[in-house]
């Protein structure tokens, strides 16, 4: 880490003799560390036959005083190595006051290391709170688009409103990313990505392939077989990131990202996959998947992978209006069990968060400072049941498979008594809006959850189909569900939290029509969804 930690921030206005240059360039400050930027193996005069900025830009993890700017170089995104020379390369960045880039506030340089897939993470500090900034990168005569980001308001700020999108599950083969284009156009403060940014499988090109019970031909195909190695994961991210709609959403606002299962492997749990691979072997794969995840996401240095671990659960405070608790329900969870074994499903020895994260979450939720507490996680807390064959089933991979964890969390929310907790998640590839009660329903409504459908996973979808009707019939606290693609926009002010569940009529054709499927409001201090 020393190479990364060594990066320093020098305020030029404090250095004699640079004042004239500073004024002429309208540069107030520059980040640089000459020594860190000239390692012995540096590629000194990079030349590229085409732009190395094929993967777009991103910003993330905003704070009141800064944000992470991200890009990654690849002239040939679908090749192993991305077409890049295996040497570090200096990439320049600029931060401006305005969209036209009339006043550059800062510029600096950072290394794109081959060890990190030629990704660049610039962790800015010392910015003003609660305002937009614009940024771009350049190298060897090529520049990125001008992208917008923003800092969070100061922790004591009395914000009127926060608006954010909840989105994820973007299977590349199963639809256009129209939802990302629409998110890019929404006036939002940030995106919460709940996971399944990539999917790990090979392209399924079988002539017998079915989606939603119908014969299905992929819109576009994954490159290569199932991914196992760092190069595989890097290339899969690169393929996804070439999508212009996804790039537009990243370039429009900062994101808070978390992973779910498909960034590594379907339904993995801590050190185990679903195939019976020895844990020590699976953990080698997981470490490579984590590294590629860090490389491709606008994450802070605090998430830099260490010894096969990635620190993903974290908090953000949005003035006095809301705290955002971002969970990691994969890395520390107990293995899924056979749902027919009710004793195991309810065993207090099993956990979906792990003990340390659970304590951290409970401590955060007990803080009375924010008006609202938003838990941003991956899989449903909603405990939805439906008929499957002769049985009524719930999922082994969601909180319904970890009932002691679920019970403890809801008990804690009820005990702290603020009646201001809302949870947002995804994973189900359908919208669900529901109230949260204890599994024996003796608690009354404790909280509510907006579960956002997928960006593309599941293709066009079937709307309110047999599964939706069955789930509604067997889940008394579920208010609405549909099998369509889209996202949720949450709008939080002092008095209410409104979830707008947006759907697209099609994703297998470009420019599907967007509409609001349902809108629910939660009144502060009065848990439970109300039609809005």
Considering only the stretches 122-130, 150-158, 398-406, 454-462, report the one whose residues sit in contact with Fe ion under the rule CB under 5 A.
454-462
Considering only the stretches 80-88, 89-97, 162-170, 516-524, report the one whose residues sit in contact with Fe ion under the rule CB under 5 A.
162-170
Name the minimum Å distance from CB 260 to Ca ion: 4
Strands (E) in 296-345, as ranges, are: 314-318, 322-326
Name the minimum Å distance from CB 265 to Fe ion: 13
Name the minimum Å distance from CB 459 to Ca ion: 16
Question: In 3D, which of 231, 201, 25 has the Cα closest to residue 114?
Answer: 231
Distance (Å, rounded) from C-alpha 50 to C-alpha 254?
Answer: 27
Name the minimum Å distance from CB 386 to Fe ion: 18
Of 31, 61, 173, 196, the one binding Fe ion by CB under 5 A: 196
Of 174, 427, 483, 500, the one binding Ca ion by CB under 5 A: 427
Q: Cα 313 to the chain's mean position, in Å?
A: 12
Name the minimum Å distance from CB 219 to Ca ion: 20
Of 169, 310, 381, 385, the one binding Fe ion by CB under 5 A: 169
Which residues 229-248 are close enough to bind Ca ion by CB under 5 A? none
Under DSSP, the state recorded for 269 is B
| Mode of pairing for the β-strands spanning 161-167 and 190-193 | parallel
> In the Cβ-directed half-sphere of 225, how many Cα atoms lie within 13 Å?
2
Site string for Ca ion, 182-221 (x = CB under 5 A): --------------x-------------------------
Picked from Fe ion, Ca ion, none, the partner binding residue 261 (CB below 5 to 8 A depending on kind) is Ca ion
Residue 193, CA distances (Å) to 167, 255, 327 in order? 5, 7, 11
| Mode of pairing for the β-strands spanning 132-139 and 89-96 | antiparallel
Considering only the stretches 19-27, 275-283, 329-337, 452-460, report the one whose residues sit in contact with Fe ion under the rule CB under 5 A.
452-460
Residue 416 · residue 233 · CB < 8 Å: no
Name the minimum Å distance from CB 407 to Fe ion: 26
Which residues 249-268 are close enough to bind Ca ion by CB under 5 A? 260-261
Number of chain residues interacting with Fe ion (CB under 5 A): 3
Give me the residues paired with residue 94 across strands.
Answer: 107, 136
Distance (Å, rounded) from C-alpha 418 to C-alpha 420?
Answer: 5
Other CB atoms within a 10 A radius of the CB of residue 169 amount to: 26
Closest to Fe ion by CB, 91 vs 169, is 169
Q: Cα 218 to the chain's mean position, in Å?
A: 24
Residue ranges that bind Ca ion, judged by CB under 5 A: 196, 260-261, 427
Residue ranges that bind Fe ion, judged by CB under 5 A: 169, 196, 457
């Amino acid at each position: 880490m020393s190479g990364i930690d060594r990066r320093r921030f020098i305020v030029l206005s404090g250095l004699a003799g640079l004042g004239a240059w500073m004024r002429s360039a309208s540069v107030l400050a520059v980040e640089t560390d000459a020594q860190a930027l000239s390692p012995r193996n540096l590629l000194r005069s990079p030349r590229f036959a085409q732009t190395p900025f094929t993967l777009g830009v991103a910003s993330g993890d905003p704070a009141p005083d800064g944000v992470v700017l991200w890009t990654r170089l690849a002239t040939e995104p679908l090749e192993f190595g991305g077409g890049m020379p295996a040497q570090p390369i200096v990439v320049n960045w600029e931060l401006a006051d305005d969209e036209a880039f009339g006043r550059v506030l800062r510029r600096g340089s950072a290394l794109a290391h081959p060890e990190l897939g030629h990704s660049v993470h610039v962790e800015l500090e010392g910015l003003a709170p609660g305002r937009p900034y614009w940024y771009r990168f350049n190298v060897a005569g090529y520049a990125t688009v001008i992208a917008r980001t923003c800092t969070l308001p100061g922790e004591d700020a009395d914000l009127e409103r926060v608006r954010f999108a909840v989105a994820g599950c973007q299977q590349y083969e199963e639809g256009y990313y129209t939802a990302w284009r629409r998110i890019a156009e929404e006036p939002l403060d940030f995106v919460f990505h709940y996971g399944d940014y990539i999917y790990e499988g090979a392209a399924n090109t079988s002539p017998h392939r079915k989606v939603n019970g119908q014969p299905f031909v992929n819109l576009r195909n994954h490159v290569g077989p199932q991914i196992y190695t760092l190069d595989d994961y890097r290339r899969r991210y690169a393929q996804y990131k070439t999508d212009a709609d996804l790039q537009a959403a990243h370039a429009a606002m900062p994101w808070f990202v978390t992973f779910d299962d498909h960034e590594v492997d379907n339904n993995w749990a801590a050190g185990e996959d679903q195939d019976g691979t020895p844990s020590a072997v699976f953990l080698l794969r997981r470490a490579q998947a984590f590294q590629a995840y860090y490389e491709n996401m606008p994450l802070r240095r605090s998430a830099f992978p260490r010894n096969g671990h990635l620190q993903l659960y974290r908090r953000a405070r949005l003035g006095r209006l809301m705290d955002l608790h971002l969970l990691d329900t994969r890395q520390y969870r107990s293995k899924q069990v056979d749902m027919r074994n009710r004793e195991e499903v309810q065993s207090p020895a099993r956990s979906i968060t792990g003990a340390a994260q659970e304590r951290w979450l409970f401590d955060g939720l007990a803080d009375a400072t924010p008006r609202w507490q938003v838990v941003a996680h991956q899989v449903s807390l909603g405990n939805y049941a439906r008929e499957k064959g002769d049985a009524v089933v719930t999922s082994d991979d969601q909180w319904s498979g970890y009932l002691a964890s679920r019970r403890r969390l809801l008990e804690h929310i009820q005990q702290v008594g603020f009646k201001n907790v809302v949870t947002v998640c995804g994973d189900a590839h359908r919208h669900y809006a529901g109230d949260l009660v204890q599994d024996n329903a003796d608690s009354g409504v404790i909280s509510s959850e907006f579960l956002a459908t997928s960006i593309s996973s599941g293709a066009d979808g079937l709307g309110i189909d047999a599964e939706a009707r069955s789930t509604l019939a067997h889940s008394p606290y579920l208010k609405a569900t549909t099998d369509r693609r889209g996202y949720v926009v949450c709008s939080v002010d002092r008095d209410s939290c409104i979830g707008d569940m947006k759907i697209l009529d099609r994703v297998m054709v470009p420019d599907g029509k967007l509409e609001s499927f349902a809108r629910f409001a939660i009144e502060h201090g009065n848990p439970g969804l109300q039609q809005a």
